[in-house]
Amino acid sequence: MSALPIIGEPERRSGTLRGTAPRAPLPAALLRGAVLADVPALERLMGPYVETGDLLPRSNYDLCRHIKEWVVAEAAGEIVACGSLKIYSQELAELAGLAVLPDWQGAGLGRALLEALVREARSHGLTEVLALTRKPAFFLKLGFAPAEREHFPLKVWADCAKCPRQNWCDEVAVVLRL
């Protein structure tokens, strides 16, 4: 993983929603490549999103085996966000497992992780990065375009065929051409 940035203090919240108090500024977060010691924290971070169906489950074995694909955001010794870049071919990779703790959402960590993973994809000479998501608006505002999942037979063959939700998948395919 190439050098990753430190994300500065997120913007101060003014409590613009009715009935919400202003939120204190959050400390800076460091983006770094994940290490095996991060696996339990990754499981805890992604667990609630797996329960809602926003993320697919990943076993401890799978996380350990593919730990070099993961980037984490760490603040005050805690993993507060994560994401991975799964490479399928010399042309194609997938952004997967993008998750941010609720208290950190809106602080720019999802975008920072996505940008770091896209830089990594570019450094490998890839030409496309795809995501399958139930939250396409996030990706679309960052330059991804809607796509048909049939455009990605390597992804479908490698993962979708084994997915427990393959017959009732509600994820939207989006792609960024590099």
The 3-state DSSP class for residue 49 equals helix
Beta strand pairing status for 70-75 and 29-33?
antiparallel
Q: Taking the model in full, what pTM does it have?
A: 0.81
pLDDT of amino acid 8: 52
Q: What value does the CA radius of gyration of the chain take, rounded to a whole number of Å?
A: 16
- Percent over 90 (pLDDT), the chain: 65
pLDDT digits (tens, 9 = 90+) for 139-168: 999 999 999 877 776 666 566 666 666 666
- Give me the residue spans of the domains in the chain: 6-177
CATH code for the part of the protein at 6-177:
3.40.630.30
Burial pattern 62-97, b for ≥16 Cβ within 10 A else e, equals ebeeebebbbbbbbeeebbbbbbbbbbeeebbbbbb
Closest CA to 63 of 87, 97, 31, 29: 97
